[in-house]
Amino acid sequence: MITRRSMLLALPAALGCSGLPRSAWALTADGAKRVAVVFPPALEPCAEAVEGLRARLSGNGVAVDLLDVNQATYAADIAQEVLRRPAVVVAVGSDAVRAVLGRESAGKIVSTMTLEADRAGGTGEAGRLNAAVFLDIPLRTLVAEVRKIFPERTRIGVIRNPGRRGVASQIRSQVADPGSLQVAECASADQLLPVFLSFRKKVDFVICLPDGSLYNSTTARPLIMASLENRLPIVGFSPAFLRAGAAVAIYPDYRGIGQQTADLVRRCLEPGDCTAWEAPRKVDVAVNARVLRMLGIECRTAANPDLVILR
């Protein structure tokens, strides 16, 4: 039988470690259109996105070069790549975006696997980005997915960091009935637990939006414990959050993000403006069956055949 302790001990890092095979690093044949992809291969979601991007982009006269942003030789590798004059540079993940924006590039720059709020509050060089596919899932999508699985549990709370833009406007413009949501502001990690507990007996689920300033290895364990002890289910934003003890997780399909980015890159390879800021087209929804049982909650799995169930 699962216990709170065993659930908490299962808490992994927010991103797993699984690199691409070295054989995937071979450069494609030279072509008229060259794309450089800068990414951290040790981060599994980023590696998965790059696999989707490569599969969709390679061939048809497009040469794809992969560069490990965390490799000791990265500075020399990117300098050599600049000499090849790639038409587009794709930065995958926040570290890659910072590295790419820190160097001059004649090509167009596309970012992916980052949050829109990080672009807004990050380096002043962010204005050099031509296009991006963000990880942010629209709030209306999150609410709709929760209510599809749990139609009888309609009261939903959202934790919002007032320092990160977007959530308030999403509530007004995206949600059909904004009054059906309860929003609590949390400006710092030390406020997270009391803000979360303020939803006790008021909502059926609490949506935690991705925010590295609030959710980390220090805050996650007490948050999961509070969720289990107070029967207050969490809707998390990653598979790791689900394994750690969130009742539900709704997150982008990372390979799909790569494919979507490839479509954007193809537009940027053509003459003209390719400016676009896109949300994920495809999301994955998963539930933690053990946590739901502990909380006495049933979900409609038969009505949701694509639902991922962690047992």
Q: What is the CATH number of the domain that holds 94?
A: 3.40.50.2300
Whole-number pLDDT of residue 175: 62
147 & 193 share domain: yes
Whole-number pLDDT of residue 18: 33
Mean pLDDT of 22-43: 66
Mean pLDDT value across the chain: 85
176 & 213 share domain: yes
Mean pLDDT of 38-55: 96
Q: Which domain holds residue 104?
A: 22-135+254-282
Q: Are 184 and 201 in contact (CB under 8 A)?
A: no
Residue 257: band (very low, low, confident or very high) from pLDDT cuts 50, 70, 90: very high
pLDDT tops 50 at residue 270: yes
pLDDT digits (tens, 9 = 90+) for 193-239: 999 999 999 999 999 999 999 999 899 999 999 999 999 999 999 99
Q: What amino acid occupies position 306?
A: D
Residue 17 lies in a domain: no
Could you give the C-alpha distances from 156 to 24, 99, 208, in angstroms and in order?
43, 38, 11
pLDDT tops 90 at residue 67: yes
Residue 195 lies in a domain: yes
Q: Are 252 and 226 in contact (CB under 8 A)?
A: no
For the full predicted model, state whether its pTM sits above 0.75: yes
